[in-house]
């Protein structure tokens, strides 16, 4: 069967849990999962333990990734109440991440004066990324326009939010946004059936919310997995933490949408490669490509995934399109279920 070649994916929103929660995932297992999903570069979020908020914690994370990562990587720095004027000079920081709403981890900015300080002092050559839900979306867009800043809105999940982003873009705001496969394809009805496994931030929306995301795909800049693994024991506990894995399922789910006429192949590439590189101003890894079998039909199974958590909210879903081989810098790094790349072979992403 003829294979289809795509550029390697860049996932600008992952939580690889390293350091602080490596029982869920680490740089070695998370980047193995990335390669299995055709992802050749990831940008890791700062809500670790301890959070990545200064030069010291950034340097520590860089050391871990340099030893373990099998694909290329960069990091977000987390905004806190007292680090607005202390942006590190480290060249591996892709952007500043501001959490405006409650999520998993210790980072959240609730003070308007703190928000204003970050918008004022953060280096202008790097974007600000925001976890902003509902009203917080309007706050971020307003600040972006007031401070003439490049702002990226993470995991847009509601009809009202995507409509607001659309209006802001039409008025010339320097706004970009991403959506996740789970917000495109799952709803609050699925969340009830999934129980703890359907707990995530932002929570799953209505069918109308999901359809609004599809209807506004033209103004969406990227699809990102928001890969956020937790163990089965944690998800089945009394208070399951929010987050789902997604690095290995993003491309198959999007290829399935192509097979069913909901997405063009050209748009898939724009959302998973061109857009992510443009949003963060990163140079895509050299000679990085993915060979897929566009005709292969199979069911997604958590037990077959390489992520340490070993489950997926898409369990049993039939998809068409399978990753066969992945190349990075011209070398084969994945083939038919086997990761060839060694821990430590990944490199820091080049920031433009």
- Please give the Cα distance from 268 to 254 (Å, whole number): 7
Q: Report long-range pairs for 111-117 (Cβ below 8 Å, ≥24 apart).
A: 111/81, 114/79, 114/81, 114/84, 115/139, 115/143, 116/143, 117/84, 117/85
Task: Give me the domain span that covers residue 305.
Answer: 4-351
Contact indicator for 339, 32 with CB cutoff of 8 Å: yes
Q: Give me the phi and psi of 105, to 5 degrees please.
A: 120, 175
Beta bridge partner(s), residue 6: 290
Q: Tell me the whole-structure pTM to 2 decimals.
A: 0.97
User: Which pLDDT belongs to residue 89?
Assistant: 64
Question: Is the Cβ–Cβ distance between 224 and 154 less than 8 Å?
Answer: yes
- Kindly give the confidence (pLDDT) of every residue in the chain, 352 residues in length, as a single tens digit, with 9 standing for 90 and above: 689 999 999 999 999 999 999 999 999 999 999 999 999 999 999 999 999 999 999 999 999 999 999 999 999 999 999 999 987 766 789 999 999 987 666 788 988 999 999 999 999 999 999 999 999 999 999 999 999 999 999 999 999 999 999 999 999 999 999 999 999 999 999 999 999 999 999 999 999 999 999 999 999 999 999 999 999 999 999 999 999 999 999 999 999 999 999 999 999 999 999 999 999 998 899 999 999 999 999 999 999 999 999 999 999 999 999 999 999 999 999 999 999 999 999 999 988 7
CATH of the domain at 253: 3.20.20.140
Those residues whose C-beta lies under 8 Å from the C-beta of residue 183, and which sit 6 or more positions away, are 155, 156, 157, 202, 204, 205, 209, 210, 213
Report how far residue 174's alpha carbon sits from residue 168's, in angstroms, rounded to the nearest whole number.
8
Alpha-carbon distance of 333 to 71, in angstroms, equals 9
Within 8 A by CB and 6+ apart from 343, the residues are 27, 28, 67, 68, 69, 70
Residue 128 belongs to what H/E stretch?
A: strand 128-131
Domains contained in the chain, number:
1
pLDDT of residue 87: 75
Strands 350-351 and 282-283: antiparallel
d(CA 124, CA 301): 43
């Amino acid at each position: 069967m003829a294979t289809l070649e795509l550029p390697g994916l860049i996932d600008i929103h992952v939580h690889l849990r390293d350091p602080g929660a490596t029982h869920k995932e680490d740089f070695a297992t998370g980047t193995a999962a990335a390669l299995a999903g055709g992802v050749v570069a990831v940008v890791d979020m700062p809500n670790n333990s301890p959070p990545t908020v200064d030069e010291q914690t950034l340097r520590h994370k860089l050391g871990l990734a340099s030893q373990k990562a099998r694909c290329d990587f960069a990091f977000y720095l987390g905004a806190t109440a007292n680090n607005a004027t202390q942006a590190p000079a480290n060249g591996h920081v892709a952007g500043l991440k501001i959490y405006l709403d409650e999520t998993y981890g210790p980072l959240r900015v609730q003070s308007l004066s703190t928000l204003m300080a970050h918008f004022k002092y953060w280096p202008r050559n790097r974007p600000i990324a925001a976890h902003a839900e509902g009203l917080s979306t309007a706050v971020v867009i307003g600040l972006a326009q007031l401070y003439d800043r490049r702002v990226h809105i993470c995991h847009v999940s509601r009809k009202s939010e995507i409509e607001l982003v659309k209006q802001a873009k039409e008025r010339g705001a320097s706004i970009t946004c991403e959506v996740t496969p789970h917000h495109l394809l799952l709803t609050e009805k699925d969340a009830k059936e999934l129980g703890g496994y359907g707990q995530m931030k932002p929570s799953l929306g209505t069918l109308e919310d999901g359809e609004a995301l599809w209807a506004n795909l033209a103004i969406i800049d990227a699809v990102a997995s928001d890969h956020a693994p937790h163990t089965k024991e944690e998800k089945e506990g009394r208070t399951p933490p929010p987050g789902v894995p997604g690095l290995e399922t993003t491309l198959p789910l999007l290829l399935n949408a192509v097979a069913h006429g909901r997405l063009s192949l050209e748009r898939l590439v724009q959302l998973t490669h061109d857009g992510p590189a443009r949003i963060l101003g990163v140079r895509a890894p050299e000679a990085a490509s993915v060979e897929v079998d566009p005709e292969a039909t199979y069911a997604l199974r958590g037990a077959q995934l390489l992520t340490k958590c070993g489950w997926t909210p898409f369990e049993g879903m039939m998809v068409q399109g399978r990753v066969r081989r992945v190349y990075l810098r011209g070398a084969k790094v994945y083939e038919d279920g086997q990761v060839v790349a060694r821990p430590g072979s990944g490199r820091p992403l080049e920031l433009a």
